[in-house]
Amino acid sequence: MFEILEKRTLAEGIYLTRVYAPRIARSAKPGQFIIVRADEKGERIPLTIADYDIEAGSVTMVTQALGVSTRKIVAKEVGECFADVAGPLGRPSDFVTEPLEELRNKRFVFIGGGVGTAPVYPQVKWLSEHGIKADVIVGAKSKDMLIYTQEMERVAGNLYICTDDGSEGFHGLVTARLEQLITEEGKQYDCCVAIGPMIMMKFVTLTAKKFDLPCIVSLNALMVDGTGMCGACRVSVGGKTRFTCVDGPEFNAYEVDFDEAMRRQGMYRTQEQRALAIARERAEGHKCNIGLDK
């Protein structure tokens, strides 16, 4: 069993959970994910690793409570255990295998949107630990929805915060801030990595293309089974069918068919909403029965 060592609320509906999983912590690399089952009857939920600590033997994940299974995960408290935590799975970020001499000559910019900011952190942290300070742009709807900003400040070269409503940092989208950094502030980058909502990654890709800036995106939100067996995470990359969980989750952004990916994601969202509605109906029915018993 995998004991929960820490749990805290990062923003409304977004929770950090640190779990004891020493074997995973020893093997984890930036870009990889784990599969979590809240209980023995629970659904398998792939979650990108938000941090790992070899000495403490812990792995950190950030979960947004949207459906039935993610609500079960975030309902767990410190001292309780998950039935299963499997991993690390997926391919690590490409830069992990690059020679350090080459990496130290590269200028990275990372863009995290919403809950996607969490999986950006281990990548920026890994680079920082190897003497490479990357710029980071973090975006959210409002100040209250920003996450991981303090952690990111400790490892990033420069941190740029954006909010849709202007309540913190730059008033506007992350794409506008990226363009401003390049055109008005003279920033030059060799690689852009974007993780967040699919629509955000699509427009980051379009913005990066204007400056011939190589771009990587993570399609972790498409994963369902996490092993490639269900086929639910199929995506067209470079005109070929790829499976996000085994071939990714990170891909060359210019080769991703974002429109297809968004259609697939929308289909799963509808199914999750139905499951959540059924769960609520059952809960209400249970309350009614309790009332009758009285």
Q: What would the pLDDT profile of 103-119 be if each residue is shown by its tens digit? A: 999 999 999 999 999 99
pLDDT band at 42; cut points 50, 70, 90: confident
* 158-163/170-171 β-pairing: parallel
* 135-140/108-113 β-pairing: parallel
CATH 3.40.50.80 fits 108-218, yes or no: yes
- Cβ-count burial 200-238 (b if 16+ within 10 Å, e if not): bbbbbbebbeeeebebbbbbbbbbbbbbbeeebbebebe
Other residues' Cβ atoms within 10 Å of the Cβ of residue 150 = 9
Question: Residue 267 — φ and ψ, nearest 5°?
Answer: -65, -45
Question: Residue 29 — φ and ψ, nearest 5°?
Answer: -135, 155
Closest to 208 (Cα-Cα) out of 238, 188, 237: 188
The amino acid at 181: L
Locate 109 and state its tokens.
């910019």
Distance CA 204, CA 210 (A): 10
Q: State how far the alpha carbon of 12 is from the alpha carbons of 35, 111, 115, 158, in Å.
A: 23, 21, 11, 26
On whether the CB atoms of residues 70 and 96 are closer than 8 A, the answer is no
Residue tagged 């767990």 (tokens)? 76
What residues have CB less than 8 Å from 64, skipping those under 6 apart?
13, 14, 70, 114, 115
pLDDT greater at residue 176 or residue 67? 176
Distance CA 9, CA 60 (A): 13
On whether the CB atoms of residues 250 and 31 are closer than 8 A, the answer is yes
**For domain 2-89, which architecture applies?**
Beta Barrel (2.40)
Region(s) of the chain under CATH 3.40.50.80: 108-218
Quick one: 66 exposed, middle or buried, by C-beta within 10 A (0-12, 13-18, 19+)? middle
Span 216-234, mean pLDDT?
78
Region(s) of the chain under CATH 2.40.30.10: 2-89
Q: What would the pLDDT profile of 115-158 be if each residue is shown by its tens digit? A: 999 999 999 999 999 999 999 999 999 999 999 999 999 999 99
Q: What would the pLDDT profile of 161-187 be if each residue is shown by its tens digit? A: 999 999 999 999 999 999 999 999 999
